[in-house]
Amino acid sequence: MYLKTLHLKQFRNYQNQKVEFTAAKTILVGNNAQGKSNLLEAVELLATLRSHRMARDRDLIKEGESTAQIHGTLDRIHSHSDLTLTLRRHSRRSVAINGVTVPRQMDFLGVLNAVEFSSLDLELVRGSPEIRRNWLDTLLIQLEPVYAHILHQYHQVLRQRNAFLKRYVNTPEKSLQSELAIWDAQLVTAGTRVIIRRDRAIKRLSPIASAWHASISGASEVLEINYAANIPLEKTSPQELQAAFFAKLQQRAVAELHRGITLVGPHRDEVELIINQTPA
């Protein structure tokens, strides 16, 4: 697969810019604030529909404009595709493949695959768990596009459950039990799906990363990557995992109602990087 052209309209600092990638490698050179990172961000958006800068759509649209468009053409072994992402200041974004609007954004994902490697990746090791979760989620969205939908569902339930907890902060748990149970069931169902896919991805990645790490470090270091969920993951079946999730929610119910936020679930999980049995 090969990205052949990129056409940016009213995206970030670009008014109307066509770029053709004709060589096997392309080097972008320019002074600060000329749009190098913006161009890479456009590629990232076509691949994942996300930006690691966590920008909102209106930040991506050129100042003073109401829409932006990123259009890319790809050469693949057996086909040629073109991808269009349209961003709007006052309504929802839309996506099209080969000129045809795709109603489900999920179907747009996975057409273009991109890997970003940068000095900021140090943050993956040094930064907060959120950075590692976000990195893993972006990877998963490209590998298993349905994951975008699963993650969205989880965040939606989480937001609603948090709003509920906040509204009834410090209310005795007993009086809320039946209503809370409804949110718990949804949180557990959606959350378990997130946990299972993240754990599976890390289990696939870990041996590959370990092998590469050993070859770079001269085999003096052993790298291990684990998905550390805040509920025990030894449980093998999804049902057992769900039961463990429920149990943990029950355990933390008083604390949750005291603080008014959800304390259990994949939004608080960690991706552990361990070298020679010590956190990296």
Ligand X SMILES: Nc1ncnc2c1ncn2[C@@H]1O[C@H](COP(=O)(O)OP(=O)(O)O)[C@@H](O)[C@H]1O
Binding footprint of ligand X on the chain (CB under 6 A)? 12-13, 30, 32-38, 59, 61-63
Return the one option of Mg ion, ligand X, none that residue 35 interacts with (CB less than 5 to 8 A, by type).
Answer: ligand X
Select from Mg ion, ligand X, none the partner in contact with residue 12, using the beta carbon and a kind-dependent cut-off of 5 to 8 Å: ligand X
Closest distance between ligand X and the C-beta of residue 3, in Å? 17
Nearer to Mg ion, 36 or 152 (CB): 36
- The answer to whether residue 13 forms part of the interface with Mg ion (CB under 5 A) is no
By beta-carbon proximity to ligand X, the closer residue of 62 and 93 is 62
Nearer to Mg ion, 17 or 37 (CB): 37
Q: Which does 30 bind (CB under 5 to 8 A by kind): Mg ion, ligand X, none?
A: ligand X
Query: Which two structure tokens, joined as six digits, stand for 218?
Result: 């001269």
The DSSP output letter for 62 is P
CA pair distance 41, 170, nearest whole angstrom: 43
Q: How far is the CB of 65 from ligand X (least distance, A)?
A: 8
Tell me phi and psi for residue 54, to 5 degrees: 60, 35
Closest C-alpha to 43, from 95, 85, 101:
85
Identify residue 235 by its one-letter amino acid code.
K
The least distance separating Mg ion from the CB of residue 120, rounded to whole angstroms, comes to 10
Q: How far is the C-alpha of 1 from the C-alpha of 76, rounded, in Å?
A: 4
> Whose Cβ is closer to ligand X: residue 80's or residue 89's?
89
Residue 244 CB, shortest distance to ligand X, in Å, is 44
Integer Cα distance of 175 and 168 in angstroms: 10
Nearer to ligand X, 8 or 150 (CB): 8
Instruction: Count the residues in the chain.
Output: 280
| Interface stretch with Mg ion, choices 28-36, 146-154, 186-194, 259-267 (CB under 5 A) | 28-36
Contact call for residues 140 and 197 (beta carbons, < 8 A): yes
Q: Hey, how many other C-beta atoms are within 10 angstroms of the C-beta on 142?
A: 19
Whole-angstrom Cα distance, residue 184 to residue 207? 35
Hey, what are 164's tokens?
A: 């509920």
Please report which residue ranges of the chain form alpha helices under DSSP H: 36-48, 57-60, 122-126, 129-143, 146-167, 173-217, 238-259
Segment contacting Mg ion by CB under 5 A, of 18-26, 33-41, 159-167, 208-216? 33-41
Partner that binds at residue 203, options ligand X, Mg ion, none, CB closer than 5 to 8 Å by kind: none
Which partner in Mg ion, ligand X, none is near 62 (CB below 5 to 8 A by kind)?
Answer: ligand X
Cβ closest to ligand X, residue 26 vs residue 34: 34
Question: Closest distance between ligand X and the C-beta of residue 69, in Å?
Answer: 14
Token code pair at residue 120: 């900021």
CA distances from 226 to 136, 213, 220 (A): 12, 15, 20
Q: Decide whether 69 or 192 has the Cβ nearer to ligand X.
A: 69
Binds Mg ion (CB under 5 A): choice among 13, 17, 37, 186: 37
Chain residues that interact with Mg ion, rule: CB under 5 A: 36-37
